[in-house]
Amino acid sequence: MAEINLMDKYPKSKRAIDERAKLITEDHRQIARQFGKEFFDGDRLNGYGGYNYHPRFWQETVKRFRDHYGLVDSASILDVGCGKGFMLHDFKELMPDATVAGIDISEYAIENAFDPVAEYLRAGNARELPYEDDSFDLVISINTIHNLLRGECARALREIERVSRANSFIVNDAWRNEDEHQRMLAWNLTALTYMHVDDWVKFFGENGYTGDYYWFIAE
pLDDT per residue as tens digits for the range 132-153: 999 999 999 999 999 999 999 9
Domains detected in the chain: 2-216 (3.40.50.150)
pLDDT exceeds cutoff 80 at 16 = no
* In contact, 123 and 101? CB cutoff 8 Å: no
pLDDT range class, residue 15, cuts 50, 70, 90: low
For residue 121, the surrounding DSSP H or E stretch is strand 121-123
pLDDT the model gives residue 218: 83
Q: How far apart are the first and last CA of the chain?
A: 25
d(CA 64, CA 106): 27
d(CA 126, CA 153): 8
d(CA 213, CA 64): 14
pLDDT range class, residue 202, cuts 50, 70, 90: very high
- Nearest Cα to 61, choosing from 100, 9, 109, 106? 9
Model confidence pLDDT, tens digit, residues 17-29:
677 788 899 999 9
**pTM, two decimal places:** 0.95
